[in-house]
């Protein structure tokens, strides 16, 4: 198919449209016209690969790597390096724009010292006959490689020695200290005589004059030269003069805590990974002003008594835990340095921090990964001491519902809230046949939240609406005994879906976020007499579908697949995410235990606090 490529996606593919369907195309550059073949079709999105370029971009070049395309580890070997830097800056700017953050703060991308041979870490798949290579991300086809241009020469030398001799395992991991000459090669190979030791539990690398022990499972930057450039940037932006408290959150093996320890009176390094903590203990043992705490970052920051002058955030790709951001807003430091390898989660977290007393000075894209779509960023925030703001006023929760079940769920979560019923809640109107149930539920929830928010000047308003769907028929709250009897009769002994729409509105700004949750419910074959008794009890009137899953006498539900509390009318697993996206990060009751088997709800359960710092 012939495609006109439009924009570059964060995945590194070029976006186009063909027959009304979006196409994500590997090997293209925006502005080009190409012939491409479909690699995978997912209905509303197709994945394709360029076969022939009809109108090439001025930024196109011949790939240096003979495996480009067959191996998808590199996405941009076909793009001139100077333009790769522009594309990475554009990806960061797009992420900030989407989050509503001015993208003018994004600087030019800091180029890599070396385009090739920069990676100190490789993980090879073992294919047929013990051959080493990589796997195509879409087709899952194995591609044997004799040399990877991104890898340090030492790794390629070892690759050549091991090629064809690794059938005893499924993967080979190599890590090399560019500044020390030390290495780690896992696993222990028993049937290979390649003249090189294997099975090391750790190795050493040096950064900025400091040597670090790194275990096989511990994170360490794959580009040593760029890591040193990043450290230089951070040193310039920390703004510390040897006094005060510096917090190194998500500290890993203790890299930043050690390097920047001369800039503070005291450094608090926080890490929860046992293996990383063991490395950090070895790396920090001779640094007297560094205290290492093994615990979750959000718990340590929340219990911190002394206010930090600066906080370094270097979280995993998923970004900061919401409670970490909340803790920073409670005791804002003078400066926050945020290191991120994922622009979208960086933008999400910056949006939260910028609701507090911070100004975003700049975001510097740093190219740790030439010829790939990945980009590292350093964001610098400074505290505006004269700025008037209140975390507490924004934290007031208002539930736009008189539902006792939704109120009980919020109470069990340990949340403080007040109730304000929307004026039209008792007269929601009938559900039209053929309507999209998700759209109906979300629109009704949004209407309720805005009705209440319009009567307030501040606070966070929660709206919710639940509908039952059976054979494309939408069921709301029954208005008559006959309708309740009809609903319960239709659902008896059958499967249906329960959809709860959620809306959270910031009354001060009008900003809204929405979500929904869907649960499959299987009803037992209850009798007509049981239906009659339940209706006569008066319990059927304010419930979608005319029933309550938790009713102790009727017990209409045989089983569910999904979130139990979604059927009750308020799924915490969706609600907490919406609150967090608006910068509200409530701490849940330590004793709360969600009923049912919803994995998302169970992930919300607070862990034991463990040790707290001074």
Continuous segment of H or E residues that includes residue 326? helix 322-330
Work out the pLDDT band at 588, boundaries 50, 70, 90: confident
pLDDT at 463: 96
Read off the tokens for 18: 């063909």
pLDDT grade for 434, boundaries at 50, 70 and 90: low
For residue 508, what are the CA distances in angstroms to 60, 460, 461? 49, 8, 10
Of 343-347, 353-357, 414-418, 529-533, the poorest mean pLDDT is in 353-357
Which 3 state secondary structure label does DSSP give 534? helix
pLDDT attached to residue 425:
44
Does residue 423 have a pLDDT over 80? no
At residue 614, does pLDDT exceed 60? no
Residue 427 pLDDT:
45
Residues composing the chain:
614
What is the reported pLDDT for 454?
87
Give the pairing type, strands 335-340 and 310-313: parallel
What's the rounded mean pLDDT across residues 207-230?
95
pLDDT-derived band of residue 613, with 50, 70 and 90 as boundaries? very low
Portions of the chain given CATH number 2.40.50.140: 1-60
Choice between 488 and 352, residue whose per-residue pLDDT is larger: 488
pLDDT at 428: 52
Residues classed as catalytic: 465
In this prediction, residues 342-348 reach a mean pLDDT of 93
Write out 106-163 in H/E/C secondary structure: ECCCECCCCCCCCECEEEEEECHHHCEEEECCCCCCEEECCCCCCECHHHHHHHHHHC
Q: What is the pLDDT of residue 390?
A: 59
Mean pLDDT in the chain? Answer: 90
The pLDDT value recorded for residue 432 is: 62
3-state secondary structure 170-232: CEEEEEECCCCCCEEEECCCCCCCCCCCCCCCEEEEEECCEEEEEECCCCCCCEHHHHHHHHH
Regarding the domain delimited by 1-60, which CATH topology (the fold level of the hierarchy) does it fall under?
A: OB fold (Dihydrolipoamide Acetyltransferase, E2P) (2.40.50)
For CA atoms 485, 490, 494, 500, give the dihedral sign.
negative
Q: State the pLDDT confidence band at 424, using cuts at 50, 70 and 90.
A: low
How far is residue 109's CA from residue 170's CA, in Å, rounded to a whole number? 37
First to last CA, the chain: 64
Q: What percent of the chain clears pLDDT 70, i.e. is strictly above it?
A: 95
Tens of pLDDT, residue by residue over 480-531, are 999 999 999 999 999 999 999 999 998 877 788 999 999 999 999 999 999 9
d(CA 293, CA 194): 41
Q: Look at the domain 392-602 and name its fold.
A: Maf protein (3.90.950)
Q: Is residue 412 within 8 Å of residue 436, measured between CB atoms?
A: no
Tell me the per-residue pLDDT of 252-309, one tens digit each, with 9 for 90 and over.
999 999 999 999 999 999 999 999 999 999 999 999 999 999 998 988 988 887 889 9
Instruction: Convert the pLDDT of each residue in 31-50 to its tens digit.
Output: 999 999 999 988 888 999 99
CA nearest to 359, candidates 394, 332, 326, 330: 332
pLDDT at residue 180 above 70? yes
Write out the DSSP string of 334-387: SEEEEEES-HHHHHHHHHHHTTTTEEEEEEEEE-SSTTSS--EEEEEEEE-TT-
Q: Which residue has the higher pLDDT, 610 or 296?
A: 296
CATH 3.90.950.10 residue window(s) in the chain: 392-602
Distance CA 230, CA 378 (A): 8
Average pLDDT over residues 214-238: 95
d(CA 576, CA 567): 17
> Is pLDDT above 50 for 63?
yes
Residue 431 confidence class, pLDDT cut points 50, 70, 90: low
DSSP, residue by residue, 277-319: HHHHHHHHTT-TTEEEEES-HHHHHHT--SPPSEEEE---TT-
Q: What per-residue confidence (pLDDT) applies to 389?
A: 61
Q: What kind and span of H or E run contains 323?
A: helix 322-330
Share of the chain above pLDDT 90, in %: 70
The answer, yes or no, to whether residue 194 has pLDDT greater than 80, is no
pLDDT at residue 366 tops 80: yes
């Amino acid at each position: 198919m012939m495609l006109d490529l439009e924009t570059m996606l964060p995945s590194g593919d070029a976006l186009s449209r063909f027959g009304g369907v979006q196409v994500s195309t590997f090997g293209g550059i925006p502005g080009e016209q190409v012939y491409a073949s479909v690699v995978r079709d997912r209905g509303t999105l197709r994945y394709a690969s360029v076969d022939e370029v009809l109108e090439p971009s001025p930024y196109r070049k011949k790939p240096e790597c003979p495996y480009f395309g067959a191996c998808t580890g590199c996405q941009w070997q076909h793009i001139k390096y100077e333009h790769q830097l522009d594309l990475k800056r554009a990806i960061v700017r797009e992420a900030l724009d989407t989050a509503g953050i001015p993208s003018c703060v994004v600087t030019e991308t800091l180029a890599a010292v070396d385009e090739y041979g920069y990676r100190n870490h490789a993980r090879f798949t073992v294919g047929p006959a013990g051959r080493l290579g990589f796997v195509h991300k879409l087709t899952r086809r194995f591609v044997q490689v004799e040399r990877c241009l991104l890898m340090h020469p030492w790794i390629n030398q070892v690759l050549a020695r091991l090629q064809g001799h690794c059938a005893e395992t499924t993967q080979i991991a190599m890590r090399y200290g560019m500044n020390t000459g030390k290495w780690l090669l896992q696993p222990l190979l028993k049937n290979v005589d390649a003249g090189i030791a294997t099975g090391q539990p750790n190795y050493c690398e040096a950064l900025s004059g400091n040597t670090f022990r790194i275990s096989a499972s511990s994170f360490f930057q794959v580009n040593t030269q760029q890591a040193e450039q990043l450290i230089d940037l951070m040193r310039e932006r920390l703004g510390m003069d040897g006094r005060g408290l510096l917090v190194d959150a998500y500290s890993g093996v203790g890299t930043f805590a050690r390097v920047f320890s001369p800039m503070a009176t005291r450094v608090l390094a926080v890490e929860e990974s046992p293996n990383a903590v063991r490395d950090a203990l070895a790396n920090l043992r001779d640094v007297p002003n560094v205290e290492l705490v093994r615990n979750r970052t959000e718990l340590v920051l929340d219990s911190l008594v002394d206010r930090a002058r600066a906080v370094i955030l270097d979280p995993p790709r998923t970004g900061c835990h919401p409670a970490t951001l909340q803790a920073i807003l409670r005791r804002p430091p003078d400066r926050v340095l945020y290191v991120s390898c994922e622009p979208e989660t960086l933008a999400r977290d910056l949006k939260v921090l910028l609701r507090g007393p911070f100004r975003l000075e700049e975001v510097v894209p740093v190219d740790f990964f030439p010829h790939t779509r990945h980009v590292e960023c350093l964001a610098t925030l400074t505290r505006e001491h004269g700025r008037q703001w209140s975390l507490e006023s924004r934290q007031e929760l208002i539930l736009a519902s008189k539902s006792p079940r939704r109120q009980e769920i919020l109470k069990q979560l340990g949340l403080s809230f007040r109730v304000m019923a929307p004026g039209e809640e008792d007269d929601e109107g009938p559900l039209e046949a053929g309507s999209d149930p998700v759209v109906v539920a979300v629109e009704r929830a949004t209407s309720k939240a805005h009705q209440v928010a319009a009567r307030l000047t501040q606070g966070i308003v929660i709206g919710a609406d639940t509908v039952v769907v059976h054979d494309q028929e939408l069921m709301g709250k029954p208005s008559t005994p006959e309708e309740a009897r009809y609903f319960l009769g239709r659902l008896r002994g059958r499967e249906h879906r329960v959809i709860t729409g959620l809306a959270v509105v910031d009354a001060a700004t009008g900003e809204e976020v929405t979500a929904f949750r869907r649960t499959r419910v299987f009803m037992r074959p209850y009798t007509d007499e049981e239906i009659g008794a339940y209706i006569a009890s008066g319990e059927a009137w304010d419930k979608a579908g005319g029933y309550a899953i938790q009713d102790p006498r009727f017990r209409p539900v045989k089983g569910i697949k999904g979130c139990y509390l979604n059927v009750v009318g308020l799924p915490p697993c969706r609600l907490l995410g919406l609150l967090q996206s608006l910068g509200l990060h409530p701490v849940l009751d330590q004793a709360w235990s969600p009923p049912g088997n919803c994995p998302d709800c169970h992930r919300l359960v607070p862990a034991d606090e463990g040790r707290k710092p001074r």
